[in-house]
Amino acid sequence: MKVSVDMGSCHGHQMCAIAAPEVFGSDELGNAKVLIEGDLPTELEGKARRAEANCPERAIIISE
């Protein structure tokens, strides 16, 4: 599983970083920053899905 963020839709709610702090952080403006490029460790997949399900802008893209 890989994650990315549609930066045109992200408005910095930071709810992804709250749900999955290992996977998402914050850039200088407080918008989402993906911390793990490439395949996620299996044990973080659940958290990444949860981050997706908590983004009010539906900006998180998960690809299997």
Partner 1 sequence: MTDTRKPVESMLTDYDIFEPSFVANPYPGYSEIRESECPIARTERYEGSWLPTRYEDVVALAQEYEIFTSRGILVMPPPPGQAEGAYGGVAAPPITSDPPDHHWHRRLILPVFAPQAVAKYEQSTRDLCNALIDEFIDKGTADAAADYAQHIPVRVISNMLGVPLDMEETFTGWVRGVLENMHDMELRKRSRLAIIEYFLAQVEDRKTNPRENDLISELMNTEVEGKKVPIEYVLGVCNLMLVAGIDTTWSAIGSVMWHMAQHPEHRKQLRENDDLWPTAIEELLRVYAPVTMARIVDRDIEFQGCPMKAGDRVLMAFPAANRDPRQFENPDEVILDREHNRHVAFGSGIHRCAGSNLARLEVRVALQTWLKRIPEFELVDPATVTWAGGQVHGPRSCMVKF
27 vs 39 by CB, closer to partner 1: 27
Q: How far apart are CA 30 and CA 13, in angstroms?
A: 8
Tell me which residue of 4, 27, 18, 25 sits closest to 50, measured CA to CA: 18
36 vs 54 by CB, closer to partner 1: 54
2 vs 11 by CB, closer to partner 1: 11
Please state the separation of Cα 28 from the chain's center in Å.
16
Positions that interact with partner 1 (CB under 8 A):
11-15, 17-19, 26-30, 50, 53-58
| Min dist. Cβ of residue 50 to partner 1 (A) | 6
